[in-house]
Every structure is written in C-alpha cells, then in structure tokens.
Amino acid sequence: MPTPRPSTSRSNERAWLVTGPLALLAVVCSVGLALVGPPFPGSIAKALILLVVMVAAGTQVLQFVIRRQALAFTITEIPLVLAFFYLPPLTVVVIASIAALIGQLRRRLTPTKVWFNVAKAAAAASLACLVLLALPDLNGVGPLTWLTLFLTVSTNTLVTLAAVSGVIGLLQGWQAGWEVARSAPQPLATSAVNVIIGLVVLIALETTWWSLLLIAVLAVAVVLVYRSYSLFVRQHRTLGDLYELTRAMTASGQDGTLADVLLGRVRGLMQAEYATLWLPAQGRHPEVLLTARVDDNGLLDVAPAPAAMREEASEQQRTVAVGVRLGSDGALRNSLHRTGVKDLIVVPLRSGQAVIGTLEVVNRLSDVGHFTPSDIPVFETVAAHAAVALENSRLVDRLRHDAYHDALTKLPNRRRITAALDEAVKIRAPGEVVALLLFDVDRLREVNESLGHSAGDKVLVEVAERLRSRAPSSALVGRAGGDEFLVTLRLESADAALELAAQLREQIRDEMVFDALTLDVDTAVGVAVYPDHGSDAALLLQRVDLAATAAKSVPGSVQLFNAALESRSMRRLGLAGDLRRALDDGSLEVYFQPKMTLRDRRLVGVECLARWEDPAHGTVAPEDFVAVAEHTGQLGRLTEFVLREGLRRSRDWAHGGQPLAVAVNLSARTLTDQHFPARVQELLEEYGVPPQWLTLEIKEAGVLDGTDRPIPTLRRLRDLGVRLSVDDFGTGDSSLAHLRRLPVHEVKVDRSFVQGMATDPGDLAIVNAVVTLSQQFGLAVIAEGVESELTLELLQDIGCEIGQGFLFSRPLPYERLEAWFGAQVDPETISDSELPRLRAVL
C-alpha cells in the first residue's frame, strides 16, 4: 500500500489537517468494531505471526516519486487478506497500526509523517473492517469468501490512496494531488494482484499448514527475482532516459533552449530537487549560472550549493560528491546540511583537456532518498553528453553571430538590422515611431584610393565606435555594408529622429587621427520612420537609402524620407504636375459601386471611387495620386473635387425622386485642417444637400492614432449634422472600446476580414464580434468586400444589415450606374425616410 514521504523543503505541519481527521475516523470506527464485532483480541499467536509478516512485507518497497513526494507501494495486502480471515476486526486494526508505526520508525521519518502514516493505516483498516462486517460472514474459502475479502482489502487500498492524494494535494497543491490520483490505477492493480496472491496463500493454509514451508521458499525466490528485475528496470529506464536526453539536447541546441532542456531532464533523470549548470565567462560569452528546481517552470539564476564545490570540481577536474551514502566527510556534510543541501554531485564538463563548466544535482527527492555511488557513473555519462552538446551549441552560436555581425566593425550587419526591424514594427506603441537612420560616409573611396584600404578600414572602425558610444543605449547600431551604417530605435516622432540624426552626424564629424594623419570625415544621413514611411523592414530600408542618397545634396546632409523619394519618385514627380492639370480640367472621374441591404438586397446607396486615366501615364493607381496630392499640397483640392461630385450627384438623384446620401473618405491629414468643417458646411449649403445625407469616412489608423488631435474636428463635423464613419476597421491596433469616446455613427468592417469569413474561422469570429459590439454601442455596421453568396449568408446570420462588393456590382461610371438603377430599383418603392447612401473614396 502507498506511503507518502513529503519533502522537508516545504512545511509539513499542514499534514495534521489530514492526520487529525484520519485519527478521529479510526477511533470512531474502532469503537464501533468493539461494540458490534467479534471479541478482541482473538488468537494472540496468530496476531503476533501476522504482525511480523506485515512488518516484513512493508520492507519490500516499490518506490515512485511524484514531484517532491515519494510514494512507496508494498505487498502488505497479502498478510491483510490473512488477517481479515483469521483475526477479529479490531485486532486487525491494532496490528495494522503497530506494523505501520514500526515501519515508519525504522525509516526514521519525522513525527509528522510517522503519525500521518499510522493514522492512515488505522483509518483504512477500520473502515475495511466495517465493510467486512457489513458483508456476509466468511464461511470456508469459496468464491463468496474471495469476493468479500477482495472488497474489504480494496476498501483499505482506496482509503489509503485518498489519504495520500489529500495530503500531497494539501502540501504541494492540487496539481500534485491530481497526479497521485491519476497514478491510482497502478497501485490498484498491484493491490488486486496482492489480494489474489493472498487468497492463494489462504487456500493453501486452509488445506494444510505444511504449505507454509513452500510459501516461505516461494516468497524468498520472489524477493530475489523482484530485486533483480527492479535493477534491470532501473538500468533500462536510465538508458532510455539518457537516449531521450541526448536527442532532446541535439534538437534544442539549434533554438537556444539547450539549458532549459538539459537541466529539466537531468533533474528528472536523477530525481533531484535541483539541477545546476555553471559555465564561467569565456570570450564574449558571459558567466552562466542556471538552476532548474522541482515545481518551477522556469530557470533560476542562483544555485543552492556553495560556489566552492563547483570551483573545486573545475580546478581539480574531478567529480565532487557529498552525501550520506557517498562516503564524504561528515563535517562537510553537516555544514552543507545547514544550508539546506543534504547531498550533491558536481561533475566537471570537459571539452578535450579543458573544463568548460560544471553540472550538478542537489538533494535526491523525498526525505529518505539519497544519491548513491551508482548514481555517479550515470551522472558523469550525462555530463559528457551535455559537454558535447554545449560545445556544439556554442559553435552554432558563434556561426550565427558571424552570420549576423560585420567582421570588421563587430557591429550587427544588414541581416541582423532587418530582423530587428521586423520585430520592432510588430509592436506599435502609441505616441512612438520606429526610427531608422542611415549614415553614409562621404569620400571613403578617396581614402581607399589614396591611403589604401587599411586606412579606409580604420575610418570605418572609428565611425562604428563613435556611433556605438554616442547613440542612445536603446539604439541598435549596425553596418549595412560598404560605407553605410544603420541606427534603429524607438522615438517620440519623426522630428525627434531628425534631431538625433543631426546630433550624431555632428559628433561623427570630429577629426580622426591615424598615426600622423588627420582626416575630416563627414556623413550624409537619411531618416525613415515606421509607420509613416513603411510597414516592414524591407520597405523602410529601401526608403531610408533613398533619403540618404538625397541627403548628399541638401543643406545639413540630413533628409527625412518623403513620397517624392520613392523608387517611383520620378514618375510621381511627373504626376504632381499632371494631377494639378487633371484637377483644373476635370480629367478625374468618379465610379460608383452600389450598397445593398443584405436581407432583401435593396439599394441603400453607392460608393464613389476616384479614377484617373492619364494620356501619358495611363491608369494611375489611387494610392499613387493620393500620395502625390498629400505631399504636393493638392490634397485639399482633391478632397473638394470628390465632395462636390458626390454632393452634385446626390442632389440630382434627390431631384429625380431617388435621394442618395454621400460618404466621402478623408485623409487623416485633412482632420488637422481647422477650416475643413466650415468648408463642408459651405458645400452642403451650395448644393442644398441635408447634412445627414453626407457621411465622412476616416480610416481607423487616422481617427484612432493614439492622440486626441482628430477629436475637435470630428466634433465640429458631428455638430453640423454630418455622419461620421470609421473605415477599414480591424486593420489597426485599436478596439471597439476606443470608439466609445469618439463622435462616430458607424463602423465599416475591412474587406480582408469579410472576404475570409467563408474559409477562416478567425475572420468570421472577428466580424461577428465587431457586428455584435458595434450594435450594442449603437453603431451601424457595413461589410465591405461581399463577393459570394456564402459570405452574404454568414453576414445575414450574424446580424449585419448593409454590405457592398462584387456580388452586387462592380464600380460603374455614372452613365452605366443610371442603367443599373433602372434595372435594379423601382423609385416608387423607396420612401423619403429610407435614405440610400453613397460613399466617395479617394
């Protein structure tokens, strides 16, 4: 039966919360047995013989360790079968309690554990005896007797397991108690086998007492076989664990988790409370001291054993072992015990003839467990594999370092900077930008040609050192290649990036002295920031390179990227003049895409898309001419053009008996124009369109930029009676909760989520959440990109009311839209209160 052995590493005083009730239960049940059971004590001789057998059976222990607790499974069920058959119930309780007490005292456990085990044995035996009395009387050794004894002993085993699970759960947490409960099938199976053996012995004894001789010989043989088998199982398990450890270390050496895997597996293999890895500082590698402790998921940066033990093992290049069964000095053992270390093994990690560190294990789990001399060869084998794995890991780390660092300056190279930028842009902090600065060293080629490449290398090394020493501590400084250096960090704004670039440039310009030669070295600096100038590392690097090239020809040699410096800069520069002419002569055109109710496919509005077909440039993408308009001061004219076209068409449709509201996309920059609300009011009055027929849409990133700058303009527009909408919702980092503080009326779900609803459960969940929460906040919801009947049905199911997309119609020029109206809509079916809506997108 199982016996708990809580570790002294935690207080065991709470065990009395289980011991007390168990003792009380045993007393109450014993009183009941004395009142209703057979007379006590029965045959004294049989009682003494069975007591001796129980004590002897308790010495044959099969141990398992669960976290900090040791569980011991014995063969005490065999004598219990005989005791329940031959002795009165109360006598069984007494001898079971005495046998438990003798066994615990022999093992020298603490009083808390001794009394728990005694109370557990008494409670289990007394409850089992009550079950025995409740069942039919034992008569002979037939099947009915077998069933009665089996149920009685099973009750004893179940009560024991419940007590063990309870005390371990109390001391170590419910997870440890649950682990004990999960391991119950094994002890229950063992108990069933023991009961069967006990019944066989009982039948033999009832047949003839001479069978005792055969049973004794059989018992000795079983004990010898069990010990041999147990040794074989331990050796086999150790070899298997070593193989798994080697595989795990080989796999983890490539991903940087070697220490976690090594220490966790070593601690489990050696059944130790602590496993510690110590690697002294070597080259660019700092000192490493990591410890895995039982019950802790992560690693600690402290070690329970004194540093002198590790230093001794490293200096003398031999294993240091201290413990009760390891033959160590008693005074040293006592001094360690006062620090909470009862035994330890420290093994040096060898790489050839050199020692690169140590591996140690401290405290065999459970109070009665100790490391033995047989553990040392196993641990030395583990250490040999660990040393190889660590050396391979360092080699891989060295190769990886060389792959991501410049050999000349030792700075991170372009690949490393790119990876760092990719990680940085994934985390967008409000009020911050990711700045990228590129320093291009001027006239380095002249230095190489006149003074040799060694002088040029010295210039590069000096520039690298000045950048590294003068850049903020949060910056990553690297060499892009050739004469270019990169600096990336988070700053408050693009203006702060420009200021830092100018400061660093001035500090680099100090004279450089090489032997008797003095050089004046200057740099041109390009600046790009996320998210203004790119959404990923590749784009930022491309654009900062363009800015650095442009910086060579501007005063101050510091240039912030702008759209005119794009790889298509020449084309866009040409577009700037053509766009101005297009706005002057009305060459821009507006296409219309209908909006429909999803339930009955009734027309409620159209979306207007600006199109530009230029004779010289061909079809110009909207993002191109909008970017040109933003950076050439023509955005206001472009916005007013679309507003006028939308309001004019809305007025015409209203006069024709089919009023349509107009929605116009606004750039975030437009919201910073304090005169814009007044201009909107003038246009509404000019075209005679009611304000509620106009909806202004702002992209999520523009209206929820982490500041309150857009809010005053939005409130003024709302006060005019204009409807406000957040466009492309879901593509930014904001949440619906942020919308509650904004004066908006509707949310438009981005087409990327709508188009993925039919195939991606994640997109479906996002759209469902947006629709549900928006409606709870009193906001209307429009789905963009409806292109299939399945998507339409899904939107209907989640309660979305309005949508638009190719399923209904592609964008159409005005003439074709009129024909589409005639084919789709009967004007008489649209009341004045049901205002169709039109959206104009730049």
**Cα gap 261→167, rounded to integer Å:** 30
Provide φ and ψ at 277, rounded to 5°. Answer: -115, 125
Q: What is the pLDDT of residue 828?
A: 47
Predicted local distance difference test score (pLDDT) of residue 201: 83
Res 81: pLDDT: 86
- Alpha-carbon distance of 24 to 27, in angstroms, equals 5
Question: What is the percent of the chain where pLDDT is above 70?
Answer: 86
Does position 401 have pLDDT exceeding 90, yes or no? no
Read off the pLDDT of each residue in 409-424 and give the average, rounded to a whole number: 90
The predicted-structure confidence for 686-743, as pLDDT tens digits, reads as follows 999 899 888 888 887 666 655 566 788 888 999 999 989 888 887 655 566 667 777 8
Pairwise pLDDT comparison (522 vs 573), residue with the higher score: 522
Strand order in the sheet with 476-481: 476-481, 484-491, 433-441, 523-530, 558-560
Query: What pLDDT does residue 56 have?
Result: 78
pLDDT of residue 603: 82
What pLDDT is attached to residue 2? 38
pLDDT 10s digits, 9-55? 345 667 778 888 888 888 888 888 888 878 887 788 888 888 888 88
Place of tokens 């209907």: 796
832 has a pLDDT exceeding 70: no
Q: Which 3 state secondary structure label does DSSP give 412? A: strand
* pLDDT band, very low/low/confident/very high, at 3 (cuts 50, 70, 90): very low
pLDDT (0 to 100) of residue 65: 44
Rounded mean pLDDT of 358-362?
91
Which candidate, 437, 559, 433, places its Cα nearest to that of 486? 437
Q: Look at residue 515 in the predicted model and tell me its pLDDT.
A: 66
**Three state DSSP letters for 422-433:** HHHHCCCCCCCE
Distance CA 383, CA 245 (A): 11
pLDDT in tens, 807-818: 888 888 888 888
pLDDT score of 686: 92
Q: Residue 555: its pLDDT value, please?
A: 58
**pLDDT value at 554 more than 80:** no
CA–CA distance, 729 with 771 (Å, rounded to integer): 11
Residue 1: its pLDDT value, please?
40
Q: Rg of the chain's alpha carbons, rounded to an integer?
A: 41
Structure-token pair, residue 735: 């949440």
Which of 11-20, 115-124, 269-278 is predicted least confidently?
A: 11-20
Place 338 in a pLDDT band, splitting at 50, 70 and 90: confident
For the entire predicted model, the pTM comes to 0.42
Mean pLDDT, the chain, rounded, equals: 81
**Greater model confidence, 422 or 556:** 422
The pLDDT value recorded for residue 572 is: 61
- Residue 679, pLDDT score: 93
Higher per-residue pLDDT: 142 or 421: 421
**Number of Cβ atoms within 10 Å of the Cβ of 101:** 17
Residue 540 pLDDT grade (very low, low, confident, very high; cuts 50, 70, 90):
very high
> How does pLDDT run across 746-801, given as a tens digit for each residue?
888 888 889 888 888 888 998 998 898 888 888 889 999 999 999 999 999 999 99
Return the pLDDT at 650. 86
Task: Give yes or no for residue 244 having a pLDDT over 80.
Answer: no
Confidence of residue 5 (pLDDT cuts 50, 70, 90): very low
Q: Which comes out higher in pLDDT, residue 477 or 60? A: 477
